[in-house]
Amino acid sequence: MIDFRTEPARYCHWKMTFAGPVAVLAMDVDEHRGLAEGYELKLNSYDLGVDIELYDATQRLRFEHPEVRSVILTSAKERIFCAGANIKMLGQSSHPFKVNFCKFTNETRNAIEDATRNSGQFYMTAIGGPCAGGGYELALATDYIMMADDGSTSVSLPEVPLLAVLPGTGGLTRLVDKRGVRRDLADFFCTTEEGVKGTRAVDWRLVDEVVPRTQLADSANQRALQFAANSSRPPDARGITLTPLRRTIEDRTITYDHLKIELDRDRACATLLVEGPAEPVESPLARGCDFWPLAIARELDDAILHLRFNEEALRTWVFRTEGDCALAASYDAFLAANAEDWLVREIVLYLKRTLKRVDVSARSIFALVEPGSCFAGSLLELALAADRAYMLRGPRAGDEASPARIALTDLNFGPLAMCNGLSRLESRFLREPDQYRNLRARLGEQIDAEAAHALGLIGFAPDDLDWDDEVRLAIEERAAFSGDALTGLEASLRFGGPETIESKIFARLSAWQNWIFQRPNAVGEKGALKLYGTGRRPEFDPRRV
């Protein structure tokens, strides 16, 4: 089982050091501590285990270190920055693992950009030594790249000539969309093995600055201090510790403090029951990791990653909630009223990133809104993210619970936007802007099933007589369809409207990489990925299809 829970004391591959407003996150991969057998992580190459630690480190920098305003990504090894994803690891991995690995790595790099853009924690890279493939893609996720000007340091994206695959974590998109590299230069760069060095790399916009190798560390620190001076993060604030998540895994259940997952392997379905808050709002600084919105974000984050990698046969996720809608809405009101507070900002951004994981997961997403549910504000986003939402109309026979209600809050109107830059409500009403604007008038209301259906907030509102059969048939039908076809269907329908760098990475690049990873030119017995390092040349099918 792959476990995404870790902490700095358990890191094998990264070192964090701090000097005032600047943190240095140095890659120091232990080549003998790969996540699986059969490969060595030489030359600072990485596998999923390396990226799990990187993701954990970036989270801790945001929550535990408000004083950190700039982060320098670099290597702790002499004469090498990073050789990218480990090729032997990719060659021996299953196709689903490779795709999920690329997706998680993409999400981590997007989170780095999010920290720079929204948290006042500026990321830059200092490169000393070859920086290839996924190593350069990691550098591209930062907003400033400094490189040693010597004979051995270069940047490259050699996946096409060496491996017959594409850079898998946003390199192509960031080259042209983020850094503005000219198309013809990008084409040359991405089809040569050797890479680009020195002032040519600056001229082509592949890096921002080159300095003598002996001055790299000092120059990077000086530049990081300049970036830190423009940050809004409070230098004297106290952070909160991200304590280990409490989780129990059994054969058919996974249990957290506020989240219980039931695993129905017969119907290829996981039901995630999210519990609303049980106590009135209290300061997040006082509550720490037990502050309900933060606890929910952490638990859902871990659960989504666990289900992606460890329960890939469960193809439908059903979200349910329980609790007091008004109390859940009061937490959203607190977050909205204190949006300028650094910690509140980080909690909302974490919720946003976690919900994005739902959007881009290759699973069918259903939501069931029933009596006793708590789909209010930030939890309503789970229903808005669903491919289908069912809401029970009226009471259940013999049940004294009040009929189901949902509630809109300020967090539904922008702070938790999808990767296309739109809120889920905006995406839902893409050609009905008046309807979207009119929904603001319903803030604070407890909306019943008939009204929710009329407003377009849910798709189906069966009564008690039809509920069980309709829901059962929908879930069983989903399990009978082709998983490949459903993945293409859902990804095509979820992201209407404009595109961003982030949506292009997940939509275009992920789709192409998914396909290329299955082609004989890459993974066949005579494919480049299989033969890499053997001394034998791959044999390519020359047809362009």
pLDDT recorded at residue 338: 97
pLDDT recorded at residue 6: 97
d(CA 471, CA 116): 43
Alpha carbon of residue 212 to chain centroid: 36
Tell me the pairing of strands 248-249 and 253-255: antiparallel
Q: What is the DSSP string of 38-50?
A: S---GGG-B-HHH
Percentages helix, strand, coil for the chain, rounded to the nearest 5? 45, 15, 40
List the CATH code of the domain at 248-494: 3.90.226.10
Reduce the DSSP state of residue 457 to 3 states and report it.
coil
Quote the tokens at residue 490: 């859902």
Reduce the DSSP state of residue 70 to 3 states and report it.
strand
Burial 473-493 (b: 16+ CB within 10 A, else e): ebbeebbeeebeebbeebbee
Q: What is the DSSP string of 383-448?
A: HHHSSEEEE-BSPPTT--SPPP-EE--GGGGTTT--TTSS-HHHHHTTT-HHHHHHHGGGTT--B-
Print pLDDT tens along the chain (545 aa): 999 999 999 999 999 999 999 999 999 999 999 999 999 999 999 999 999 999 999 999 999 999 999 999 999 999 999 999 999 999 899 999 999 999 999 999 999 999 999 999 999 999 999 999 999 999 999 999 999 999 899 999 999 999 999 998 899 999 999 999 999 999 999 999 999 999 999 999 999 999 999 999 999 999 999 999 999 999 899 999 999 999 999 999 999 999 999 999 999 999 999 999 999 999 999 999 999 999 999 999 999 999 999 999 999 999 999 999 999 999 999 999 999 999 999 999 999 999 999 999 999 999 999 999 999 999 999 999 999 999 999 999 888 788 999 999 999 999 999 999 999 999 999 999 999 999 999 998 999 999 999 999 999 999 999 999 999 999 999 999 999 899 989 989 999 899 999 999 888 877 888 889 899 999 999 999 889 889 999 999 999 87
pLDDT recorded at residue 510: 79
Domain boundaries, the chain: 8-228, 248-494
In CATH terms, the fold of domain 8-228 is 2-enoyl-CoA Hydratase; Chain A, domain 1 (3.90.226)
Amino acid at the residue 49: G
